Structure 1
Amino acid sequence: MPAKKTRETDLYPPVKSFLEAQGYEVKGEVGKLDVMAMRGDEPPLIVELKTGFSLSLFHQGVERLSICDTVYICVPRPKGKAGLKSLKNNKNLCRRLGLGLLTVRASDNFVEAHVDPTPYTPRKSKKKADRHLREFQRLVGDPNTGGSTRQGLVTAYRQDALKCLGFLEGHGPTKASEIAKTTGVPTARNLMSHNHYGWFERVSKGIYWLSSKGQEALGEYEADLDAIRDLYPEPEE
C-alpha cells in the first residue's frame, strides 16, 4: 500500500507544537499567512507550509519578508540521496534569501530548523574567482556555446594540449622546453608527460612526439587546431 501523501495541513500541528515549546502563541491562516506566531513584544514570526521545494515557495517566502524579518519555509523532510542533495542546495538558497528553513519528518513529526532567518552577507571565494579568471584568460577565442552540457566542452587545458599537438605536427619530435617556448604553454612538459588524452609519447629524454591517438586527434580536432593557429601565428625568428 503506497504511503499517504503529506498535505500542508499535516505540517501545521508539529510546527505549532515546535513553536509553542519556544514560548510562542501560534495561529494558523492569519490573513494570507499559513502560520503566524507571537512571543511577548517581539516582532512576529511567519512560517509558510508547502509539500515540497518550489520556486513559488521561495517567491512566497521573500514576499513575507515585507511583513517581518523572521520568515521560515517548511516542507516534509526529503528522503534518499537526491532528497538530501536537494535539501543541501535549498538550505544554501534560504541563507542567500534571508529565509529560515524547517522540515518535518513524516515518521514521528520531528521538526528540525536547518537555517534561521538572518540577513545574508555572501563570502566571496577568492580561490574560485581566481580559478575562473585563469580559465577565461587561457581560453583561446570562444569555443563553447553558453548553456551546453559539460561533456565535450573545450577547456583551456585541452587548448594547451592542442597547441602542443599542432606544434608537433609541423615540427616533428621536439624538446619539451622548445615546445613550451614556441607555443606559449609553460606547462607543456608536465602536460605531455601526464598525457591525459593519450596524444603524446616520449621518444627520448625530454623529447616528445605524437602517439597513434595523437595522429588520430589531428583529424578529429582539425577545426580547433585551425582556430588556434589563426589566433597564435608562428613567432618571428
Structure 2
Amino acid sequence: MALRKIKIFKEEDLYDPLRKWLVNNGYEVQAEVQSCDVVAIKDDEMTIIELKKSFNLQLVYQCMERQKIGKYVYAAVAAPTKNKIKIKNLKKAEALLRSLGIGLILISLYSTSSLVEVRLQPAVVSTRKNAKKKKQVIKEFENRTGEYNVGGKQGKIVSAYRESAIHIYCLLQKEIEASPAQLIKLGAPANTGTILRMNHYGWFHKIARAKYTFDVDMSEIRKEFGAVVNFFESEV
C-alpha cells in the first residue's frame, strides 16, 4: 500500500521530522536561537538550518546571513510534487545554492512517516564571520535546559533568559520572598539579581532592599509555558 503524502501548510510542519533526523544523526538541536530557525551542534561544529515552506529569495538571504555565524548552513523546504515546472524550479534553486555554498534539505510528510533528503551538501565559505553573534548563539544554545521551541513557529520564544525567569518564579512560589543571593544558593542562575531588577516580564515585585516576591498568578505563566514550569517545579 502506497504511503499518502501530506501537504505541508506551515514552516513549523517541517521542524519535527527535521529534528528527529538530526538527533538520529548525533546532533544536539535547539529551535529559534537568536533568530536562527534551527541550530544543530555535533563534534563542536555548528550547523544552521533555515526553514521555508517553499524556496524563495528571502530564504537565500537568510542563509547568507547565517553563513556569518555557522560553519555549515542549509535551506530546508518541503519536497516538491512530481510537477515538471516545480522540479525545474528546484534544479534552478539548487544551482543557486551550490554557487553560494548553501546546502539544501527536502522534507516530505506522509500519513505514518516522514522523509528527510539532503539534496545538496553545504560548503565551508570564506564569508567574514560575525564572532560576536556566533558567541551569542552558542551561549544561548548552551544555557537552555530543554527543547521548548518549534522551528519556524510564530509566537513567544522560550529563550534561556525566559527559562531563568521561570526558574526564579518557581523558587519564589516556594519561598514567598527572598533575596537574589538566597535564590542563587537554592539553584537560581548567577544573573538572578539582574533578572529581578529588570523585571522584563512584569512577574516580580521588590518589597524591601534586596527582597523580592512574585507579582502574577502562576496559572498565567503555566498557560503559556507549561512544560518549562513543570520542569522547574520538579527541580525545586
- Normalised by the shorter chain, which TM-score bucket? 0.3 to 0.5
Question: Larger C-alpha radius of gyration, 1 or 2?
Answer: 1
Give the alignment's TM-score, normalised by structure 2.
0.47
Give the alignment's TM-score, normalised by structure 1.
0.47
